[in-house]
Structures are given as C-alpha cells and as structure tokens.
Structure 1
Amino acid sequence: MGSLGQILGTAFLIHSFSFRNFVVGTAFSKTETVQAAVFGILVLADPITSWALVGILVSLVGVMQLAVAAQGAGVRELIGSIFQKEAGYGMACGTCYGIASVCYRAASLSLQTDFMISAATTLGYVLVLQSLIMFVYLVLREPGQLTAILGAWKLSSLVGLSGMTASAGWLTAMTIQNAAHVRALGQVELFFTFLSSVLFFRERVKPAELIGATLIVLGLVALLIKA
C-alpha cells in the first residue's frame, strides 16, 4: 500500500504541473506532514505533542509561503485557489505521501528487529514492488519508454541509485521516529535550496521568501526541541 501510495502521489504531483498555476499544486502537496500526523495517530497511535504539532504547522506555513513566493504568487492567490483543480491534485499528492510514510513505518516496525535491518528489508520490498508496478504500467501504456530507459541506462541508473539512497534515509528515519516528524524535518531541504540560491547564485531575496524561510526554521526548531 505504501509503494502504491508513493507512486500515485508522484503521479498527482506531476499532473498538477500541467496546469497553468502549477505552484498551487506544489504548495498544497506540502500538507503531507499534517496528513501524515493524522494517519499516524489513526493507524499506529503515534503521539503528537502540542509543541510538535505547532512546529509542523509553522514549518508547513513557511514551506507554502516559500513555494508561492518563489513563483511571484501571494498568500491571497493561494487561499483563493483552494477549490481549484491544482489544489485538489496537490492535496491528493499530500494524502498519498502521508499514507505511504505511515505504511512504511508500520511495515518496518512490524518486523520487530534492529532498526537498520527493518528499514533495509522494508526498502527491499518497496523497491521490488514499485519496480514491478512501473514495469507493468510501461508495458501496457507506454512501451516505448522502456527502450528509452535502456538507451539512457547510465543516467537512469544514477537517478535510480540516488532515489534508492534517499529512500534508505527516509525509511531508516521513519523506523526510528514518528513519520510526521521525519517528513516535517525533511522540508529543511527547501530552506537550504533557498539559502544556496542566495549565497551561490546571488539571487535577490523577496521579503515573502525571507518570511517563509524564517518560519521553516522556527517550526523545525520547535519540532526538534519539544517533539
């Protein structure tokens, strides 16, 4: 279920890019942290402290603010787009990612062994299942893509290895800690992306972007201190 949820979440996110106002879909996909917290409580009875919830919500607002500000959009536009298709696909993406995160944690914990072994075993099953699902999809719907993938095997292998390494990190973290905490902390990547654009590419900082980055940091600090 987690493997399928991750695939569907990615499909929803990519489809949201086909709309003119794709930034809305990207922003609403970040609600996965809150949704993961809800699913974690319902499925695993994972506790969420008040401070952790505050941290997750504050960082979520920061991530959404940074996402819309980077594309020249505003909070008013984001709120006004709640009932648009872009927002729906973004929310669906967040739901699928949230379910996938909790399912991965549940599967890993069910093995009841060392966390490294649990995470590695779960990762193995996930990769095999996802590979089979995508292989069947490509054979039935887009057979030409298999030839293209084989033709660019060096690049596709590098991408696959990078994705597998990232998944190993995610699964190991989710085995140790609440999935919502892990997904929220993972959003720090947006802050570092923002910081890199300023330090290395000398891009001008918009006030809205600075506010978003600050909220991300504050939310993650609250999460780390009081989680």
Structure 2
Amino acid sequence: MWVFFTLLAAFMQAWRNAFQSQLSADVKVAGVTLARFIWAGPFAALYLYGLSLWQPITTPITFELFTAPFWAYVIGASAMQILATALMVQLFKMRDFAIGAGLAKSEAIVAAIFGVLFFGTDLSVLGWIGVIVGATAIFMMSTREGIKHLSLATLLIGLACGSAFALTSLWVREASLCLDIPFPHRAAWVLLWVIGIQTLSLLLFLAIKDRATLLALWQRPRLTLLISLSSCMGSIGWFSAMSLQAVPYVKTLGQVEVFFTILISTLFLQKKVKIKDVAALVLIGIAAVLVMWS
C-alpha cells in the first residue's frame, strides 16, 4: 500500500510543480505558495468524508483525540511546508523547472539523517544504499551543466528547501502516529488540519501585506485550481504512505517523481532531455528497487 500511495504522490507532485513553475512567471512567491493550499482544503474535507462513508470507524472524533504533541507536530509541519514551498518557487525563478524540482528532492537523504538521529528511524543497509544512490542521482540531475555552473546561492536554497520538506514529512508521520484511529483516517485528519492552518495563515498574511497577489490568483482561477487539486492528491499519497512506512523509504521511492518531471518537462514544457538525465533516472530506478527490497 505504501508503494502505491508513494507513486500516486510522486505523479501528482510532478504535475503540481509544473503548474507552480508556470504560475511563478506572473505571481509572487507567496501567491504561488498559497495556490498550493487555497482550494486543497475542500478537497481534503471531501476525501475525509468519503473515507467515513467507505470505512466507518467506531472511535468518536472528539477534541480530546488531538493531543498537545499532535498539535505541535501539525503546526511545525504546516510552517515547514510553507517555507519549503516558498523556497522551491524561488528555485524555479533562479533556475529551470527540472533543476529546481531536482534540488528540492535532496529531502530524502536529509530525512534519512534526521530520522535516524532524532526520530528513532531504523534503516537497513540496503535502505541506506538506496537513499545514497537516489541522492547521487538527484545531484546529477541538479548539476546537468556541471557543478561550476551551479551557484552557491542556488545550492544552499536547494538544500534548505530539501531540509524543510524533510522536517515536514517527519513531523507529519509523528502527528499521524499520535492519533489512535485506524489508517487511512489518521493520515486524512492530519492532512485536513495541516492544509487548514496553512491556508488561513497565508490568506491572513496576504490580506494584510499584499492584496495585489490575491488579486493575481483570482485572475488565474484555472491554474490555481489545478495546483490545489494536484497538491491535495499528492498530499493524500504522501501522508498516507508516511503513515505506513518510514519517511526515508517513502521519499527515496518518491524520487521516481523525477521521471514524471522529465516527461512533463519534455512533453508539456518543451524541454530537451540530456544523456545525464537518463543516467540519473537509471540510478533512481535502482534506488527505488533497493528501498522496496529492504
């Protein structure tokens, strides 16, 4: 199940990144970040309602179910995901779409290190090899013109972006484990609360500081809706997978997103694929097999 949800997440996230890359050409970073969440809340609520009909649970959903540690993890994950998305949009503005998305995928190796050091994650030898092979592939993708052409600012923002995404994922998993309800309901509740906090926070910030950006989103309803829909579906996949499996495994397998990204870049954004990209895809495939076997 975690493999299915991870593949769903990777596919939808590749589309979301492509749509955000397009929107970033005309809208500020905060606006593109908000586009990820603004319509995702209703989709998440509909998903949770559908789950309650398809697989009813006997545990009453009361406020006592959501403990103090749960709120701490949810609020932390919400803040980190906003920061990570803003940094990724900044990468899109500094480099091209594929390089920005590639640098953001450094989260797998960061999640492995943070998970082992601070979250009690236990990785097998094959798991570590898979994570390292995947990280090598992502580095190859992100330096397609050679490392000399990759500025220090781009590299640092990419690592910061990956670290913020890694912390988001680790805290989402911890929040899910705090809920004493069955899968996939616990992942759906975490998703709904995270999206709600993010949407209200960004809406309030832009309403006070930059109403012109809200107007810019209002004038681009189709692209904004596509970003929110693909983001919500991707988050359903990520949150569900991370409720079932350790984050480093999920994020390493999730690097197959780069395959979808290259397809979208080639077919949808009219970018050319280089030999180095193909080699990196082979390494990502090997990494995916290793983490599934481990």
TM-score under structure 1 normalisation? Answer: 0.84
Greater alpha carbon shift after TM alignment, 104-113 vs 149-158: 149-158
Cα distance change on mapping 1:155 and 1:28 into 2, 3 Å: closer
CA contact (8 A) 2:103 2:159 kept: yes
How far did 1:217 drift? 0.8
Aligned counterparts of 1:195 and 1:24: Cα–Cα separation in 2: 14
After superposition, give the CA deviation of every residue in 1:126-183 in whole Å (9 maximum; x if it has no partner): 1100101111221122111223333444442332122111111110000000111111
Aligned counterparts of 2:140 and 2:231: Cα–Cα separation in 1: 27
Question: Is 1:89 aligned to residue 157 of structure 2?
Answer: yes
Q: Secondary structure at the match of 1:64?
A: helix
Cα distance change on mapping 1:61 and 1:102 into 2, 3 Å: same
Aligned counterparts of 1:203 and 1:96: Cα–Cα separation in 2: 28
Question: Is 1:57 aligned to residue 132 of structure 2?
Answer: yes
How far did 1:201 drift? 10
Question: AA paired with 2:210?
Answer: E
* Among 129, 137, 142, the residue aligned to 2:205: 137
Q: Which residue of 2 aligns with 1:98?
A: 166
CA contact (8 A) 2:98 2:262 kept: no
Q: How many residues align?
A: 219
CA contact (8 A) 1:24 1:87 kept: no
Cα distance change on mapping 1:144 and 1:202 into 2, 3 Å: closer
Question: AA paired with 1:9?
Answer: A
* Among 40, 55, 60, the residue aligned to 2:115: 40
TM-score under structure 2 normalisation? Answer: 0.66
Q: Secondary structure at the match of 2:201?
A: helix
Aligned counterparts of 1:202 and 1:4: Cα–Cα separation in 2: 34
Q: Which residue of 2 aligns with 1:158?
A: 226
CA contact (8 A) 2:112 2:131 kept: no
Alignment root-mean-square deviation, CA: 2.8
Question: AA paired with 2:109?
Answer: V
Identity of matched residues, %: 32
Cα distance change on mapping 1:142 and 1:203 into 2, 3 Å: closer
